[in-house]
């Protein structure tokens, strides 16, 4: 499913625009990364695309249809989101949490069908949380919890997966595993849009990138087009070395630290 | 141990249903005059049997049965309100009392008693209006300028509004200068099933049955709401309309229960807790189980209230608080982190 955001503007309060005339296109079956400094509007853009926030102007389209015309439930059949952090009320078990992903597909009082059980199991296998099935969502580590929420999103069988800095609190291994699963999904045809801070990881995961600053879309294109030393300095205010890794073939970004004594 | 499998959960609910029927029979048997189970059952099913005295029959059908049924309805209504509010606010401390709704209902009932002579028509209306005003005030106050409800402000607002309405009730009592009306209002403050009649059962039954059925309709959405407001929306549940519906339903259930039996504390807080410990937080099992156990709990509490100091009758709220409060403190102490 192709995502298309056209001329979105959104303000939480009257004084400042969180999104200022932002447009973005994510081709079907590809992964795009949304990068930019804190407060640049990445999360707001994801929340508008997910339908949680209504833009003051502009519209979001999935395969050309405006999402405003879909019901919350219909939208949830096509689009899933993993938030940066989620405070789960009550002591649900991991398998119960993942099963919530079937809600949009099931009639209100219908029991779990064999197909539901299969989908849930498959989602848990993909996110590697089968071993946690009978643990409480509060009794597992932050990294495991993010994988559970990924499994929940996958259990929705979405055509579009949105992720808002999902690995911020994860260690290197968990982050790498998480991103590998996401990349795999995009390779298999899911449309992925991910807000992410680590520019090097972003370049590895994404086919395309969009750089935001101050509520505006600065530049969008391939990682090589977007990740230039000039772009990084003008939006992040950081001088960095940008190169192409000889082995991986993807762009890397090394920020230059100040404060060391000259050698 | 928590029962988490769906089949076992259903089995627990069937057992609770059996327990409820047994509680109804026990509640009819126990009192100043003890009535054998055989007589109770024969009277209930209108079996002609000459060995059963007419007086026993009258006690069963006209006095004890409406009282036990009222206990069942009030207990279920309060437990379901509590469970639903805890689900809506994602906070196990929410209950009709802590959110000030019951105080509003009591103040409304007091106004109806003092100014409209407390007829069975005006009393529930007064209680419902009082409860609605309190609920609306609390939810409005707790809703920040960004349209979100903070649980902390919600509970603080509930405590404040509750205190305000309690003060109003005290003020009305003070003005009433004694007499029968004063004892009427006092009865409402202490809570009890002593005024049960077939009329009160007939008024309450349709409201409670409809209210609980409607809450059952939303159980799946309550589960989704555990993911947070946006999380619920991402799995296709609209939190705004859920809030609105459950606000109306819990207010209705609490107000009608308070109108008939006064303020009976701790059922709405403790019963959902115990059921959550036993069955897990899945509202599809939690809500029906809370309804059944809430009914049982109030029937048994009322039996204790009738017999402990017989022939005098304790206010049943004393019994529920006497068992409920220490139990709640025990839960807080032992499972504080996961509450």
Task: Give me the pLDDT at residue A157, please.
Answer: 96
By three-state DSSP, how is residue A33 classified?
strand
Task: Give me the pLDDT at residue A63, please.
Answer: 94
Does residue A262 fall inside a structural domain?
Answer: no
B288 contacts: CB under 8 Å, gap ≥ 6: B13, B216
Closest Cα of chain A to B272: distance in Å?
12
Distance CA A22, CA A9 (A): 7
Q: By mean pLDDT, which of A130-144, B107-121, B218-232 is the weakest?
A: B107-121
Task: Give me the pLDDT at residue B50, please.
Answer: 72
- Residues of chain B whose C-beta is under 8 A from some C-beta in A? 4, 90-92, 146, 217, 220, 223-228, 230-231, 233-238, 276, 280-282, 338
User: Where do the domains of chain B lie?
Assistant: 6-338
Does residue A152 fall inside a structural domain?
Answer: yes
Closest Cα of chain A to B82: distance in Å?
15
Mean pLDDT of A167-173: 87
Structural domains of chain A, count: 1
Task: Give me the pLDDT at residue B45, please.
Answer: 83
Q: What are residue A96's phi and psi, to 5 degrees?
A: -70, -35
Average pLDDT, chain B: 86
Distance CA A19, CA B59 (A): 72
Q: How confident is the model at residue A170 (pLDDT cuts 50, 70, 90)?
A: confident
Does residue A179 fall inside a structural domain?
Answer: yes
Position with higher pLDDT, B192 vs B68: B68
Distance CA A69, CA A54 (A): 12
Instruction: Give the rounded percent of residues in chain B with a pLDDT score beyond 90.
Output: 35
Position with higher pLDDT, A111 vs B242: B242
Of A179, A233, A242, A182, the C-alpha closest to A211 is A233
Task: Give me the pLDDT at residue B1, please.
Answer: 46
Mean pLDDT of A50-76: 94
Instruction: Give the rounded percent of residues in chain B with a pLDDT score beyond 70.
Output: 92
Confirm or reject contact between A117 and chain B (CB < 8 A).
no
Q: What are residue A202's phi and psi, to 5 degrees?
A: -55, -45
Which domain covers residue A239, as residue numbers? Answer: 3-255
Chain A residues touching B223 at Cβ < 8 A: 92, 96, 100, 103
Task: Give me the pLDDT at residue A29, please.
Answer: 93
Task: Give me the pLDDT at residue B339, please.
Answer: 47
User: Is the omega angle on the peptide bond into residue B277 within 30 degrees of 0, that is, cis?
Assistant: no
Does residue A149 fall inside a structural domain?
Answer: yes
Residue B48 above 80 pLDDT?
no
Closest Cα of chain A to B223: distance in Å?
8
The per-residue pLDDT for range B59-71, each reduced to its tens digit, is 888 889 999 999 9
Task: Give me the pLDDT at residue B174, please.
Answer: 82
A193 contacts: CB under 8 Å, gap ≥ 6: A3, A26, A31, A32, A33, A34, A46, A49, A160, A161, A162, A163
Task: Give me the pLDDT at residue B95, please.
Answer: 82
Task: Give me the pLDDT at residue B145, please.
Answer: 58
A164 contacts: CB under 8 Å, gap ≥ 6: A42, A43, A46, A47, A81, A82, A83, A84, A194, A195
Task: Give me the pLDDT at residue B47, please.
Answer: 77
Q: Cβ of A90 and B281 within 8 Å?
A: yes
Does residue A55 fall inside a structural domain?
Answer: yes
Q: Supply the Cα-derived Rg of chain A in whole angstroms.
A: 19
Residue B40 above 90 pLDDT?
no
Task: Give me the pLDDT at residue B178, please.
Answer: 64
Task: Give me the pLDDT at residue B139, please.
Answer: 79
Of B163, B166, B187, the C-alpha closest to B315 is B187
The per-residue pLDDT for range B259-271, each reduced to its tens digit, is 888 888 889 988 9
Instruction: Choose from A11, A100, A104, A134 for mutation: most chain B CBs within 10 A.
Output: A100
Task: Give me the pLDDT at residue B106, please.
Answer: 87
Residue A131 above 90 pLDDT?
yes
CATH number of the domain encompassing residue A62: 3.40.50.300
Does residue A260 fall inside a structural domain?
Answer: no
Confirm or reject contact between A139 and chain B (CB < 8 A).
no
Residue A263 above 80 pLDDT?
no
> By 3-state DSSP, what share of chain B in percent is helix, strand and coil, each rounded to 5?
75, 0, 25
CB nearest to A91's CB, from B91, B238, B338: B338
Task: Give me the pLDDT at residue B215, please.
Answer: 97
The per-residue pLDDT for range B275-327, each reduced to its tens digit, is 988 888 999 999 999 999 999 999 999 999 988 887 788 889 889 988 888 88
Q: What is the DSSP string of B49-102?
A: -TTS-HHHHHIIIIIIHHHHHHHHHHHHHHHHHHHHHHHHHT-TT--TTTTTHH
CATH number for the segment(s) B6-338: 1.10.3470.10
Does residue A57 fall inside a structural domain?
Answer: yes
Distance CA B267, CA A72 (A): 35
Closest Cα of chain B to A244: distance in Å?
37
- Chain A residue with CA closest to B83: the answer is A90
Q: How confident is the model at residue A23 (pLDDT cuts 50, 70, 90)?
A: very high
């Amino acid at each position: 499913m192709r995502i298309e955001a056209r001329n979105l503007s959104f303000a939480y309060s009257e004084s400042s625009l969180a999104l200022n005339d932002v447009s973005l296109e994510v081709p079907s079956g590809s992964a795009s990364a949304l990068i930019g400094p804190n407060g640049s509007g990445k999360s707001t853009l994801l929340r508008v695309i997910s339908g949680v926030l209504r833009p003051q102007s502009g519209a979001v389209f999935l395969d050309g249809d405006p999402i405003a015309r879909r019901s919350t439930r219909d939208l949830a059949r096509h689009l899933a989101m993993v938030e940066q952090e989620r405070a789960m009320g009550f002591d649900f078990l991991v398998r119960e949490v993942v099963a919530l992903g079937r809600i949009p597909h099931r009639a209100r009082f219908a029991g779990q069908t064999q197909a539901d059980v299969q989908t849930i199991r498959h989602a848990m296998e993909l996110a590697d949380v089968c071993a946690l099935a009978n643990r409480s969502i509060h009794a597992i580590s932050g990294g495991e919890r993010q994988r559970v929420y990924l499994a929940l999103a996958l259990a929705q069988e979405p055509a579009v997966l949105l992720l808002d800095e999902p690995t911020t609190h994860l260690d290197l291994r968990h982050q790498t595993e998480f991103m590998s699963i996401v990349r795999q999904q995009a390779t298999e045809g899911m449309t992925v849009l991910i807000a992410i801070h680590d520019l090097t990881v972003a370049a590895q995961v994404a086919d395309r990138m969009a750089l935001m600053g101050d509520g505006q879309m600065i530049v969008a294109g391939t990682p090589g087009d977007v990740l230039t030393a000039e772009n990084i300095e003008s939006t992040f205010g950081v001088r960095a070395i940008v190169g192409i890794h000889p082995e991986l073939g993807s762009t890397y970004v090394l920020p230059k630290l100040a404060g060391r004594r000259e050698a | 141990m928590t029962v988490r499998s769906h089949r076992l959960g259903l089995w627990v609910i069937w057992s609770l249903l059996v327990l409820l029927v047994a509680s109804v029979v026990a509640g009819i048997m126990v009192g100043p005059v003890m009535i054998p189970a055989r007589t109770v059952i024969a009277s209930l099913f209108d079996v002609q049997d000459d060995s059963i005295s007419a007086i026993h029959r009258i006690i069963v059908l006209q006095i004890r049965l409406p009282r036990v049924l009222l206990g069942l309805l009030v207990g279920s209504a309060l437990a379901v309100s509590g469970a639903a509010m805890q689900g809506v606010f994602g906070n196990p401390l929410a209950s009709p009392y802590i959110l000030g709704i019951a105080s509003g209902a009591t103040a409304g009932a007091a106004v109806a008693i003092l100014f409209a002579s407390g007829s069975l028509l005006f009393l529930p209306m007064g209680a419902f209006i009082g409860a609605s005003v309190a609920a609306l005030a609390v939810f409005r106050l707790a809703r920040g300028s960004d349209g979100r409800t903070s649980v902390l402000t919600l509970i603080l607002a509930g405590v404040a509004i509750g205190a305000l309405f309690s003060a109003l009730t005290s003020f009305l009592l003070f003005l009433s200068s004694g007499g029968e009306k004063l004892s009427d209002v006092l009865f409402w403050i202490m809570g009890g099933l002593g005024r049960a009649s077939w009329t009160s059962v007939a008024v309450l039954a349709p409201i409670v049955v409809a209210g609980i059925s409607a809450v059952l309709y939303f159980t799946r959405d309550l589960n989704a709401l555990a993911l947070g407001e946006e999380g619920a929306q991402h799995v296709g549940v609209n939190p705004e309309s859920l809030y609105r519906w459950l606000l109306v339903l819990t207010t209705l259930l609490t107000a009608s229960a308070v109108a008939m039996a006064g303020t009976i504390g701790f059922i709405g807080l403790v019963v959902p807790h115990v059921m959550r410990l036993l069955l897990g937080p899945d509202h599809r099992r939690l809500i029906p189980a809370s309804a059944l156990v809430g009914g049982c709990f109030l029937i048994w509490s009322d039996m204790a209230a009738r017999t402990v100091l017989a022939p005098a009758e304790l206010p049943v709220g004393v019994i529920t608080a006497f068992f409920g409060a220490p139990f709640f403190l025990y839960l807080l102490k032992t499972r504080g982190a996961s509450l």
